[in-house]
């Protein structure tokens, strides 16, 4: 356990701004201030066990899983194309992929508000083809769309970086031994890219399961997710104890999903931690 003295400022920083706040959250979730001092209670966790709140939790997980899956479905081919040798101006393409991320994601989500609305761009274009305006905004599909749109780069980039590191000679060897391109993909490329896939899944799932802005703006407040619930406890209700308990549940959930991911990823690079 020999540490360099130079690490101490960082350790102190982490203690003050990460460890202590975390402990405070845990503390608030189990302790209430009563007239005769502090009392330990599990009341807030018990309250969370009510069907309403469990329903919210399940919805959050389901929507996040759907978004993660769609991101994977769309993102993997994109990463494959970007990493492929046939692509000229690769850097430009990657840059185009990254540029939207420089803008605040709130602004990008607001943009969808005007694109999807009844008199919005998409419905106007549909009307040129004689299609009646659709109710696109304020649906659960709109929430998933918002998540996929915002978090897709987090899926593409890790997969791309793993794919582009694969040793070309491995693929050539497989081809020399008579594997067709389907076999090369299923037996060589895909298994080798799994660490990237795993870290992509974690990086999409985590923000998707905790988001509260996307569900509020694109869901029109009709699809309460656990993030909205936590937000409300601190802003309108003022119930810090219940909010903290919800946050702890959320953190445990994320820890579990990360544990599952790293288990699959055991003997490969530890990129899933990102």
Partner 1 sequence: MRNLVKIVLAIVLFSILIGTFAGCKGGNGSKDDLNANQSGNKNESKKKVVLNVYNWGDYIEETVIDGFEKKYGIKVNYEMFTTNEDMYVKIKSGAGNYDVAIPSDYMIKRMISENLLNKINFNNIPNYKYIEERFKNLAFDPNNEYSVPYMWGTVGILYNTTMVDEPVDSWNILWNKKYEKQIFMLDSQRDSLGVALKKLGYSMNTRSVEELEEAKKALLEQKPLVLAYVVDEVKDKMIAGEGALAVVWSGDAFYCISENPDLAYAIPKEGSNLWFDSMVIPVTSGHQEEAELFINYMCEPEVAFKNADYIGYATPHSEAKKMLDPEVVNDRAFYPLEEDLGNFEIFEYDAEAMKDYDRIWTEVTSE
Which residues of the shown chain bind partner 1 in the complex (CB under 8 A)? Answer: 1, 3, 11-12, 15-16, 19-20, 23-24, 27, 33, 50, 52-53, 55-56, 59, 113, 117-119, 135, 137-138, 216-217, 219-224, 228-229, 232-233, 235-239, 242
Of 264, 269, 64, the residue nearest 158 (C-alpha): 269
19/173 with CB nearer partner 1: 19
Kindly state the smallest distance separating residue 231's Cβ from partner 1, in Å: 11
Burial of 66 (0-12, 13-18, 19+ CB in 10 A): middle
180/235 with CB nearer partner 1: 235
33/256 with CB nearer partner 1: 33
Kindly state the smallest distance separating residue 119's Cβ from partner 1, in Å: 6
Kindly state the smallest distance separating residue 130's Cβ from partner 1, in Å: 21
11/255 with CB nearer partner 1: 11
CB 159 within 8 A of CB 196: yes
Kindly state the smallest distance separating residue 6's Cβ from partner 1, in Å: 14
Query: Tell me, what DSSP letter sits at residue 272?
Result: G
Question: Which H or E run includes 47?
Answer: helix 43-48
19/274 with CB nearer partner 1: 19
Please report the beta strands in 132-199, taking only residues with DSSP state E, as ranges in sequence order: none
Backbone angles phi, psi at 211, to 5 degrees: -65, 145
CA 250 to chain centre: 13
Kindly state the smallest distance separating residue 218's Cβ from partner 1, in Å: 9
Kindly state the smallest distance separating residue 15's Cβ from partner 1, in Å: 6
Half-sphere exposure of 252 (CA within 13 A, CB side): 10
Kindly state the smallest distance separating residue 85's Cβ from partner 1, in Å: 47
CA distance 132 to 130: 6
CA distance 267 to 114: 47
211/228 with CB nearer partner 1: 228
144/201 with CB nearer partner 1: 144
CA geometry: angle 14, 235, 204, nearest 5 deg: 55
Half-sphere exposure of 61 (CA within 13 A, CB side): 11
């Amino acid at each position: 356990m020999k540490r360099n003295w130079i690490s101490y400022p960082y350790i102190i920083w982490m203690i003050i701004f990460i460890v202590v706040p975390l402990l405070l959250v845990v503390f608030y979730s189990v302790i209430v201030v009563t007239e005769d001092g502090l009392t330990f209670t599990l009341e807030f966790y018990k309250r969370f066990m009510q069907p309403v709140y469990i329903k919210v939790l399940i919805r959050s997980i389901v929507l996040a899983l759907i978004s993660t899956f769609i991101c994977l479905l769309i993102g993997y081919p994109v990463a494959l194309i970007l990493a492929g040798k046939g692509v000229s101006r690769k850097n430009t393409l990657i840059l185009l992929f990254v540029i939207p991320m420089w803008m605040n994601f709130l602004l990008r989500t607001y943009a969808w508000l005007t694109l999807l609305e009844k008199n919005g761009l998409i419905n106007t274009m549909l009307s040129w083809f004689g299609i009646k305006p659709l109710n696109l905004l304020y649906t659960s599909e709109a929430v998933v769309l918002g998540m996929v749109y915002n978090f897709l780069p987090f899926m593409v980039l890790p997969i791309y970086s793993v794919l582009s590191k694969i040793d070309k000679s491995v693929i050539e060897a497989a081809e020399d031994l008579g594997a067709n391109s389907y076999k090369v993909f299923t037996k060589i490329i895909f298994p080798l890219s799994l660490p990237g896939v795993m870290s992509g899944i974690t990086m999409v799932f985590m923000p998707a399961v905790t988001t509260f802005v996307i569900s509020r703006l694109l869901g029109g407040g009709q699809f309460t997710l656990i993030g909205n619930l936590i937000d409300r406890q601190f802003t309108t209700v003022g119930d810090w104890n219940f909010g903290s308990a919800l946050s702890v549940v959320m953190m445990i959930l994320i820890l579990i999903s990360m544990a599952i991911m790293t288990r699959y990823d055991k003997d490969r690079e530890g990129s899933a931690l990102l």
